[in-house]
Amino acid sequence: MTDLKDIVGQIDQLEPIPPIAGQIMALAEEPDSSLSEIAELILNDPAITANLLKTCNSAYFGLNRKVDSVRDAIGFVGLDHIVRLVMLNSVSKNFNKQSQGYGLGEGELWRHAVTSAHVAKILAGKFGRSRHKHLIYTAALLKDIGKLILGRFVAFSFEEINILVNSKGYSFNDAEKKIIGMNHEEIGAMVGKQWCFSDKLIFIIGHHHLSNETAREDLETSLVYLADIICMMMGVCTGADGLSYRFYGDVLKRMDLTEKDLQAIIAETGENQQKIEHLLNLI
Ligand SMILES: [Fe+2]
């Protein structure tokens, strides 16, 4: 088994997320926060501000005038879009890398992350979770951050993991735990702790494959799980582990979701695929 200290030590190799990203997300979820408070917070990070203005002025938004301030950008594009763009800008450097071990080429983990976040946004809207929509979007975006670290350990032990998955009925994350001593949910949660994410965001990242009952009873975690499942059903950069996770039908029942509803969400995401691709090229 791998020395877990070697794995945990790799967290420092990731590009840290700017602290203002978490603050912006938290502020945007406060019902009484003002737009100027959020704009001011964004202005504290010149790199994020510059990227934000560049994206808002791109053909993606098709605005009929140039925006030249964060306040303007919020006014024209809308706060929800701005918060999502801040999150995308804050994490893209990490996710654009190749993910060895999981059979994902350069940019594929990023495509999966952004599409999952998009699906999670649709699901959050359907379930009236507007109070936590940014948390759900961010959790879906970051759920597999542990793969960035665990990838090379998975690559080293892939054959052993694969035997457990294919011959012993293990899910991929259970096989990771058994062979490596830690799975990508656990190391992802550790990244979240080190980067001072909220307890809820850490919980969702650490349980996004719903490995225990508490997670299956938590609506936000279940929504992120479903977003992942829907991306897998759509075949969006599923990788070597893609179809090797447990499917919990009771989660659908608990949410009163039918297969028809899932098909409708898949169709809606499919219709937006071109926009998602455009966004991926911009960030
Ligand atoms: Fe995962």
Is 143 domain-assigned? yes
Instruction: Say if residues 119 and 140 touch (Cβ distance below 8 Å).
Output: yes
Is 25 domain-assigned? no
The range of the structural domain enclosing residue 214 comes to: 4-16+97-282
CA 204 / ligand 1 centre spacing (Å): 11
CA 27 / ligand 1 centre spacing (Å): 27
CA 18 / ligand 1 centre spacing (Å): 23
Dist. CA 153–CA 212, nearest whole Å = 24
* 72 Cβ neighbours under 8 A, 6+ residues apart: none
- pLDDT tens-digit map of 142-163: 999 999 999 999 999 999 999 9
Once rounded to an integer, what is the mean pLDDT over residues 26-47? Answer: 86
Q: What is the CATH number of the domain that holds 113?
A: 1.10.3210.10
- Reply yes or no on whether the pLDDT at 281 is more than 70: yes
Is 49 domain-assigned? no
Dist. CA 233–CA 255, nearest whole Å = 19
Once rounded to an integer, what is the mean pLDDT over residues 123-139? Answer: 85
Is 238 domain-assigned? yes
Dist. CA 283–CA 276, nearest whole Å = 11
CA 94 / ligand 1 centre spacing (Å): 16
Domain count, the chain: 1
| Average pLDDT of the residues of the chain | 90
- Reply yes or no on whether the pLDDT at 37 is more than 70: yes
Is 53 domain-assigned? no
Would you tell me how many other CB atoms lie within 10 Å of the CB of residue 13?
A: 9
Enter the DSSP assignment of 3: -
- Reply yes or no on whether the pLDDT at 53 is more than 80: yes
Q: Distances from the Cα of 178 to the Cαs of 94, 101, 148, 174, in angstroms?
A: 26, 16, 19, 6
* pTM of model > 0.85: yes
| Secondary structure (H, E, C), 108-164 | HHHHHHHHHHHHHHHHHHHCCCHHHHHHHHHHHHHCCHHHHHHHHHHHHHHHHHHHH
Name the nearest CA neighbour of 138 among 218, 186, 94, 83.
83
CA 233 / ligand 1 centre spacing (Å): 14
